Structure formats: C-alpha cells, structure tokens
Amino acid sequence: MVPKKLSQRYIFAFWYPLALSWMMMSIADPVVSAGITRLPQPELELAAFGVAQPIAILMESPIIYMLGTGVALVRNRAMYHLVWRFMLHLSILMTVVSAVLFFTPAYHVMTRLLLGLTEDVAVAARPAMQLLLLWPAAIGLRRFLQGVLIRHGYTRHITMGTVCRLTTLSATMAVGVWFGGIPGAVLGGLAMVLSVIVEAIVIAWWARPIVREHILAKEEVPDQNEADMTYSGLWRFYLPLAATDVMRVISRPLVVAGIARSAMSAASLSAFPVAFGLGFFFSSPMRACHEVVIALFQDERSYRALRRFVVISGALLSLAMGLLVFTPLDHFYFTFLLGVPAEIKPLARLGAQFMVPFTFLLAWQNLYRGRLMKRHETRFIQYGMVVNLVSMLLALTIGVSVGLASGVVVGAASVVLAHAVEVVVLNAANRPPDTLSDIQPTHAH
C-alpha cells in the first residue's frame, strides 16, 4: 500500500529506477550511430537510418501513452482485460498502417514526394523500415505491462528490462560491425526491433506472477469512487493522449525546418543535435515523474509531497546542466568527451546554455500531466500540447523573420518558450477538484 503520508525518501525509492531507465535509453542512439559509422558508406547509411528511425517513432507515438494508461487504469481484473484488448487493437492498427507505408507504393509517395528524399537515401532506408514493422506492437505490449508493474510498485523491473534492451541493441550492433555484410541502416533497424522485442518478452515474463497475484487472483471489488470504463470510454480517455504524442514527435522536424531557414543554418543544424541531446539527457529523469505522479497521487497532501520532490529534482538537474555549460567544464564535455569540431563548439555550447531551463520546465509539465491523467482529464493534456506546438511555430517564425540570432539559438529558445507556455496552460487546468471522488486509490508493493 502507498503510505498515507508520502515521504521524500519513499518517492525517491519509487522514482529512481524509472529515472535510471530513461537515462540509459538516452544512450541508445549514440550506440547505433557509432556502429553505423564503422560500416561502409557511413554518410549514406546514417542519412537512411536518420529517416527510418523518426518514421518508426512516429508510427509508435500513438502507443506511447499505454504506459501511463496502465498505471492510471489497471486497478482490477475487468480493467486489465479492457486495457489489454484496447492495446492489442491499437497495436494491430499501427502495424497495418506501417505495413501499408513500408511495403506498398505509398512508400514512394512518403519518401520521394512528401519528404523529398534522394533516390539513394530512400532505397537505403526502406529495408530498415520494413524490419521495424513489429516495432509498434512490441512497444505496445511492453509499455502496457510496464504500467501494470509501476502501478504495483515494481519499478526496479523497468530498469532491468532497459538493461536487457540496451544489452541486446549493443550486442547486435557489435556483431554486425564485426562480421560486416549488413548495410548500416539495416543493422540499426534490426538492432532496434530485436532489442524492443527482447525487452517486451522479459517484461511479460516478469509481469506474469505480478498480474496473477495483484489482479487476476483477486475478486472483483466495485470501485466506489468511479465506475469502470467501457471500451468507447477508453477511446475517449486515450485519443487526446495519442494526439499529444503525435504532436510531440512532429515538433522536432518543425524545429529543424526553422533552423534550416535561420542564420548560420549549416553550422546550426550540426550544433543543435548536440545541444538538444545534452538537454534530453539531463531532462530524461524528469520524464519518469509522469508515472510516479499517476501511481502515488491520492489526495492534495500527497500531491504537495510529489510537487516538492519533482520541483526540487528538476531544479537540481537544471543547475547541474548549468554548471556544465556555463563553466570551463564545457571544454571537457564538448571537446574531450564528444570531440565536437572547433567551428561548431561555440554554437553547441550556446544552444545548450539556452536549453538549461528545459529540465525544470519538463518537471512541471510531467507533474501536471500526471495529475490530469489521474483525474481522467486527458483533454487538457492535448490542449497543452496544442498550445506548445503553436507557441513553438510562432517563436520559430519570428526568429527566422527577424534574423538576429543563429539557428541554434532560434531552435533552442523556441523549444524552451513552447514548454514554458504549456506549463502555464497546464497549471491553469490543474485546479483542485471540489471533491476527491475522482482520485482512485493506488496500491504499491
């Protein structure tokens, strides 16, 4: 059971395995890129993988919120079966959409007409995308069962699953590089899909006894606070969340498009991934706060304890990033550790400096989103993301038209500003409820 009075130590013990998992996942992309650069035609294969991966992520984006949904809703046997059925249908839908895009003439329309790719990049990317056909289904199963594990307090299983995933990905890349004969983009796609499948199998195996003990073995007890959802009600709950993550995924290419039209575009396009990657690394632990809030939020007293933990953690991580990019430590990171070229380093450092508030804003964002999901007010999460996207587009448009700053500054500032506006909107949506009847009791091991 979750204690009635949440201590900061209890929240930390619940949070840190999830935060560690997010931090480990932030190194997956560099591992794949490092492998591809050691294979023939690295420029072409990196470009092809750079196309295949974002499209695969777009295909999985409607399924991402299955994790939070599992935490928020799977409280008894009936809800377990309902959400399980919903997850299967959504996974099948996204797999069919992926198959149409990757295996039919629609691929030519997508890559050549819409994306404007050259023929060689489009050809090299296609087999990698086809390998990623099972990606959405594996992600859906994994995230649904991870949500069940988190709801019942088994957060360390999430970390161990991530270790299995990274081990599989690294081993696949190492073996492929060692023996050769596989194009880099294809090897990257194979490593991605194998690692996710292995993680899904491991999580499913670990979840079996926990599901039996905490859900299937218990008699149905009607929830006095809220009636069980119907299948159509679950769609109404989930569709705003799916739309939110689709918008999140498409926001990154929009930022890149804005940078490409800004001052010093070529250098900025090289510097921005370095700056954004550092911001993502420091902010990744805060992404775990979303599920922590859903799992542990019971009443206003527990919310205040969670808010204190999330805000202090976000502030400390932002401070740590600030110390790295505003002090001589930046030379160690950008030059010694990453080997950023001298002509790119000043822009990368400047972009990273603008990204310092990002972690703190992400802490507030996930605090508010978690509370709204627990209260089943998912439409406000979608509204917040719409405001985020519109604010970012306005900032990019103004930054490009004025032309007073380099592209990396325009890109980083637009991301930070958009998140700040979203936090304001989510704060307004997080009015305390008149009663606590919409807050469900959550059990933890």
pLDDT in tens, 229-254: 788 889 999 999 999 999 998 888 88
Task: Name the β-bridge partners of 406.
Answer: 263
Helix (H, G, I), strand (E, B) or coil at 411: helix
Our CA angle for 206, 211, 214, nearest 5°, is 125
The residue length of the chain stands at 445
pLDDT at 265: 79
**Which residue from 124, 133, 123 is spatially nearest to 102, judged by alpha carbons?**
133
Provide φ and ψ at 263, rounded to 5°: -65, 145
What is the per-residue pLDDT for 282? 93
* Eight-state DSSP code of residue 4: S
| 263: β partners | 406
What is the model's pLDDT at position 416? 96
Q: Could you give the CA distance from residue 44 to residue 22 in angstroms, rounded to a whole number?
A: 29
φ, ψ dihedrals at 406, nearest 5°? -70, 165
Distance of CA 63 to the CA centre of its chain: 11
Torsional class of 339: left (φ above 0), alpha (ψ -120 to 50), beta (otherwise): left
Angle CA(268)–CA(61)–CA(44) in degrees, nearest 5? 45
Q: Rg of the chain over CA atoms, in angstroms?
A: 22
- Helix segments in 223-264, DSSP class H: 231-260
Neighbours of 220 (CB within 10 A): 9
The list of the chain residues with pLDDT below 50 reads 222, 224, 434-445
> Would you list the domain boundaries of the chain?
1-221, 242-445
C-alpha of 401 from chain center: 31
- Six token digits for residue 188: 């990257």
For residue 435, the model assigns a pLDDT of: 41
Distances in Å between the alpha carbon of 367 and those of 73, 158, 377, 430? 18, 20, 14, 10
2 three-state secondary structure: coil
> Which of 250, 183, 190 has the alpha carbon at shortest distance from 46?
183
Residue tagged 């502030």 (tokens): 315
